[in-house]
């Protein structure tokens, strides 16, 4: 008497709730009853047939190997229930035969001992595989077309939520509070003060709850500036299209962050934020015996803990934290403006700001010329392609490279034109800045640890060294070097002479008043630069 195991398979777990599994089992049991075949086991599978790495199928193979000879048939309704991969199916049929089991589809019976029937088996196995491949191509084509039309496909990124219209069409919408946190993330990264990992930690403290790898992928996604990335396909290069969703940030802010992440923009080195309050200078001081940065830790004495800055290597450099912190404050006092400088500072800024339009116009003209040059290169490449002197693939490459540059230049030109129309009371801001600088050392002393590190990173893009009770600073930030004039270099204004040459480029590195006013939100992006003339 023949003994059979029945195999019932559907593609997804949703189908297991329908009638298909019970229908397949009924057909198989009726087939066995009519032919006096004993049913031993019934296996239910809700997994794809693209391969045999299926949970239930692995159980079947274990049972057949352990109980070899106990059954001689493996029955299923159709061959696509068995497999949708031709090469894997032939190999599995040979494996089953070696175990003394014959696979058979009751609705598509084949005598595999007849060589000609193998052709029919190939048709039964190949037709579903072709159907799967065609369905996959159609799905990918539909997704690509949807992206070209500006629709975001897939799971919504952080700050957005998947929603569905009444007609069944899906879209993404802003999801608070994650949206506000992601907007803050891009604004913080654009300043270039903290590293991306530090910004991620601060964002998680605000409630974002994201891991490092996902965060690094997320901040590269142009969906936040309202764009959808269409991947390259065949001869069509990858490109961005305008999305149908609402943007969280501007394009200029997004590309500014990308430039910082790619290292194309000059910015301060990111610093960690998890710093004990007694070690605000950790990783800002370079060891004077080797090239490593000094870290910090506390060691227990007889009655209390003492905090030290020390080198990570075995060179033995070790300084008491209170001595180093005190020496840095002494160094910081050198940058407090002398009394009498305030008036010159405010007058110089006001005069320079009033003359800014000339610099703005020059930069606008430069951007226009660069945009025209990019368009000219594209036109020349097009003419060469039409004449047969340039390959179409090379033309597409030139068009893509120059198109990306032109888009960024146009956004920058738009941003400058907007700034031209914005006028501020620069004299009032300058006076507030001078008042803050006069108490720079005091404000640093009472500031929080993140604010102290922000100020240190702002002033000193290069590392400092400490020896013999003195902090020696490296190169200052260019903006800080021009604004924070050291007292020993300051000279009294001579009668009839003009000690300052003033210039005010319309846009520069975002200086603001954050590190010294500790909480004020007044910021402006105009860089105030002065060249000091010593008489």
pLDDT at 298 over 50: yes
E strands within 70-191?
73-76, 102-105, 160-164, 170-174
Q: What is the DSSP string of 455-486?
A: HHHHH-SSPBEEETTEEE--PPPHHHHHHS--
Angle between helices 178-191 and 251-262 (to 10 degrees): 50
| 314, pLDDT greater than 90 | no
pLDDT-derived band at 330, boundaries 50, 70, 90? confident
- Determine whether domain 178-262 maps to CATH 3.30.2320.80: no
Give the number of residues written for the chain. 535
Contact 456, 284 (CB under 8 A): yes
Mean pLDDT score, 177-181: 92
Domain ranges in the chain? 3-132, 178-262, 337-438+477-535
> Please, what is the average pLDDT of the chain?
78
Residues 108-127, mean pLDDT to the nearest whole number: 84
pLDDT at 59: 92
For residue 118, give the 3-state DSSP assignment.
helix
- pLDDT of res. 276: 66
Residue 271 has pLDDT above 70, yes or no: no
Q: Which fold has domain 3-132?
A: Rossmann fold (3.40.50)
Structure token digits, residue 287: 């060891």
Q: Which residues sit opposite 531 in a β-bridge?
A: 501
- Among 128-137, 251-260, 354-363, name the one with the lowest average pLDDT: 354-363
For 293-445, strand residue ranges (E) read 294-300, 305-311, 318-320
Tell me the CB-side half-sphere exposure of residue 249, using CA atoms within 13 A. Answer: 26
Containing H/E element for 45?
A: strand 38-46
Q: What is the pLDDT of residue 96?
A: 92
Split at pLDDT 50, 70, 90, the class of 175 is very high
| Local structure of 285: helix, strand or coil | strand
Q: What is the pLDDT of residues 333-349, one digit of tens each?
A: 776 766 666 677 777 77
The pLDDT of 234-245, averaged and rounded, is: 85
Q: Does the pLDDT at position 85 exceed 70?
A: yes
- For a pLDDT cut of 90, what percent of the chain falls above it? 18
- Cα distance between residue 449 and residue 518, in whole Å: 11
- Say whether pLDDT at 30 is over 50: yes
- pLDDT surpassing 90 at residue 131: no
Position 482 pLDDT exceeds 80: no
Residue 88: the pLDDT is 87
Alpha carbon distance 275, 273 (integer Å): 6
Return d(Cα 409, Cα 374) in angstroms, integer: 10
Q: Which of the four pLDDT bands, split at 50, 70 and 90, describes residue 160?
A: very high
Quote the pLDDT of residue 273: 43
The predicted model gives 509-514 an average pLDDT of: 40
> How far is residue 197's CA from residue 270's CA, in Å, rounded to a whole number?
9
The set of residues, in sequence order, having a beta carbon less than 8 Å from that of 95 and lying 6+ positions away, is: 61
- Omega into 177 within 30° of 0, i.e. cis? yes
The sheet that has 294-300: what strands, in order across it? 294-300, 305-311, 318-320
Both structure tokens of 60? 């079947």
Whole-structure pTM value: 0.47
pLDDT of residue 521: 36
Burial of 135 (0-12, 13-18, 19+ CB in 10 A): exposed
Q: Decide if pLDDT at 407 tops 80.
A: yes
């Amino acid at each position: 008497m023949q003994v059979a195991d029945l195999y019932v398979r559907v593609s997804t777990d949703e189908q297991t709730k329908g009638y298909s599994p019970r229908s397949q089992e009924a057909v198989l049991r009726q087939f066995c009853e009519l032919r006096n075949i004993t049913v031993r086991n019934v296996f239910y599978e809700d997994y794809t047939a693209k391969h045999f790495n299926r949970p239930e199928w692995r159980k079947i193979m274990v049972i057949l190997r352990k109980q070899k000879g106990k059954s001689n048939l493996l029955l299923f309704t159709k061959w696509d229930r068995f497999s949708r991969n031709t090469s894997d199916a032939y190999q599995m049929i040979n494996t089953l035969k070696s175990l003394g089991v014959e696979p058979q589809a009751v609705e598509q019976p084949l005598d595999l001992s007849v060589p000609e029937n193998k052709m029919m088996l190939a048709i039964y196995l190949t037709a579903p595989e072709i159907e799967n491949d065609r369905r996959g191509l159609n799905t990918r084509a539909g997704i690509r077309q949807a992206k070209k039309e500006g629709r975001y496909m897939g799971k919504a990124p952080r700050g957005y939520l998947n929603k569905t219209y009444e007609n069944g069409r899906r879209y993404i919408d802003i999801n608070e509070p994650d949206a506000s946190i992601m907007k803050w993330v891009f604004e913080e990264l654009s300043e270039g003060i903290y590293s991306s990992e530090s910004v991620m930690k601060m964002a998680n403290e605000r409630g974002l709850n994201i891991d490092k790898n996902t965060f690094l992928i997320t901040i590269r996604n142009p969906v936040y500036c309202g764009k959808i990335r269409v991947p390259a396909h065949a001869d069509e290069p990858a490109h961005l299209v305008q999305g149908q969703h609402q943007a969280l940030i501007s394009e200029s802010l997004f590309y500014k962050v990308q430039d910082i992440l790619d290292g194309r923009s000059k910015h301060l080195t990111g610093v960690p934020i998890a710093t004990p309050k007694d070690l605000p200078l950790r990783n800002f001081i370079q060891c004077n015996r080797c090239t490593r940065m000094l870290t910090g830790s506390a060691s227990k004495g007889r009655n209390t803990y003492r905090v030290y800055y020390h080198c990570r290597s075995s060179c033995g450099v070790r300084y008491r934290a209170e001595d180093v912190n005190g020496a840095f404050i002494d160094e910081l006092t050198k940058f407090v403006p002398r009394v009498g400088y305030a008036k010159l500072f405010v007058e110089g800024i006001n005069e320079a700001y009033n003359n800014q339009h000339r610099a703005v116009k020059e930069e606008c003209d430069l951007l226009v010329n660069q945009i025209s040059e990019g368009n000219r290169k594209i036109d020349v490449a097009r003419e060469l392609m039409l004449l047969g002197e340039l390959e179409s693939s090379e033309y597409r490459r030139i068009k893509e490279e120059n198109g990306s540059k032109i888009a960024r230049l146009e956004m920058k030109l738009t941003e400058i034109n907007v700034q031209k129309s914005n006028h501020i009371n620069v004299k009032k801001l300058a006076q507030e800045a001078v008042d803050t600088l006069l108490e720079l050392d005091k404000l640093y002393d009472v500031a929080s640890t993140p604010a102290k590190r922000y100020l240190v990173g702002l002033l000193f893009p290069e590392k400092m060294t400490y020896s013999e009770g003195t902090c020696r600073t490296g190169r200052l930030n260019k903006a800080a070097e021009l604004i924070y004039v050291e007292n020993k270099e300051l000279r009294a204004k001579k009668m009839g002479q003009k000690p300052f040459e003033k210039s005010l480029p319309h846009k520069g590195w975002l200086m603001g008043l954050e590190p010294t006013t500790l909480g004020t939100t007044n910021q402006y992006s105009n860089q105030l630069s002065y060249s000091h003339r010593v008489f």
